[in-house]
Amino acid sequence: MTDVRAFSDEELTAFLDGEADDALHAEIDAALERDPALVDQLAALDVPLVPIAEAYEALLQDAPPMPALPEPTTATTPAPAPRGRWAWGVGTFATGLAAGLAVAMFTGFGTPEPAPKGWVSFVASYQALYTPETLVLANPSSADAALQLASVSDALDLDLSGLPKAEGLTFKRAQVLGFNDKPLIQIAFTRADGTPVALCIIPAGPDAKPVNMGQAEGLGLARWNTPGYGFLLIGGTDTAPLQQEAETFQSWSADIAT
């Protein structure tokens, strides 16, 4: 078996969010081609554990009581099993999770520690709350839209006044949010059918990265980086318009980054 070093959740989260440096990005890319377990580990970072836990809790309601644990027979206590979220092998994940939840129910301990989530995960969770009705009353004039873009430009030290009009998207609002003490800009749009779409920008590393399509919280997304900034376009489930919209914004972002 080919040896592949273990990557921490922090390293994999940085890779997923486009914040890994070139060396780490290349190392994880190469490892993904050799290690199917690493692919599962990456996928699991975006898996919400709450629905899984609830499903197992329902099954465990009819489970028999836990038997009394035997007293240790020697003075030597075995080392505790790894507590990390990814300590289980892929084949034993369901069994391990069920056992861990059973212990938690009977003892009150053993709650799994959640994996760290990057800014893309938080944005996706926030965007998943949007409905076609969320932005229906937001109809700024051209002057108001320009003022909003000027305000968020100051927060990022990036001129957003030339934000292009992507075909099919209507500007609704721009606001300053935050993640890990960094400004996170959200520019909200809607499509003709009311689908909410957001362009988000955050300070990032110096490396440029091309558009990468993906999905989070059931929403389509496109991610890319320019030197110093990370970009995310997210919304809807149809990747065809999202990819076209992303190309428009990526071309513009490459120009303002130079």
Residues of the chain with pLDDT under 50: 1, 47-50, 52, 56, 75-113, 115
**What local confidence, expressed as pLDDT, does residue 233 receive?**
97
**What local confidence, expressed as pLDDT, does residue 172 receive?**
97
Q: Domain range spanning residue 144? A: 119-256
CA distance 195 to 241: 11
**What local confidence, expressed as pLDDT, does residue 55 receive?**
53
Residues in the chain: 258
Same domain, 88 and 214: no
The answer to whether the beta carbons of residues 30 and 38 sit under 8 Å apart is no
Domain count for the chain, please give it.
Answer: 2
| Domain presence at residue 4 | no
| Domain presence at residue 197 | yes
Same domain, 170 and 248: yes
Strands, DSSP E only, in 99-237?
170-179, 182-190, 196-203, 209-216, 219-226, 229-234
Report the number of secondary-structure helices (H) and strands (E) in the chain. 8, 6
Same domain, 52 and 139: no
